[in-house]
Structure 1
Amino acid sequence: MKLCSAYINPLSMGPTVRLNLTKILEATGELQNFLDLGNARLKAEGALSQESSEALIFGMADELEDHLRAMRDRQGSASIKDLRIWTRAWIDERREMLSKGSPPQEDRG
């Protein structure tokens, strides 16, 4: 399964490689959890334009990608299990923030 778009190593997350976040979410079993979080964020934001809704979801994807890249950089490598753990922790943290009524803040590493 190809998880990035530039190298043979699907877990390579060098600074110039764009992660295929959809493939990572599918491989880790976290796609539905990410979509559910996105839906919860949209509901919490209230009525948004199509453009604003898309920006919110794409922003979440960028935040998660940055988080995964930062975690990999700290550890030096990343297995599917690592990606699953890091993704689940990121989603759970944002769900908790939403349940407390505070909007999730961007995680840039």
Structure 2
Amino acid sequence: MSAARRELEEELGVVPEDLRHLHTFFLNPGRASWPTHLFISTGALNPGIADTSDPTEQVQLARMPLANLDDLIRRGDIVDPPLIVARAIAAATGDLPPLGPARTG
């Protein structure tokens, strides 16, 4: 848990008020032996200090309504497996509402 907290501050410059383990899975069990750990924070994200010294690790925090995230996943604009799995598991555990219906217009 401390590593997840540290990474959130180092990469995004935020310190979660609450953070807990959501799920662990193997991204490609036939080829890779390391697990992927997913965490969730549903509380406030307090300002921290991001380490921006590594040019290969430039990440930006994006805040958006959950419906927008669902639309991006549905359209195939988000193709990151851990993010898609995290969204599905968070819905299955009741931490987030189920994926909403497609919006039109």
In the superposition, the TM-score normalised over structure 2's length comes to: 0.24
Q: Which has the higher strand share?
A: 2
Q: Which has the higher helix share?
A: 1
Larger radius of gyration: 2
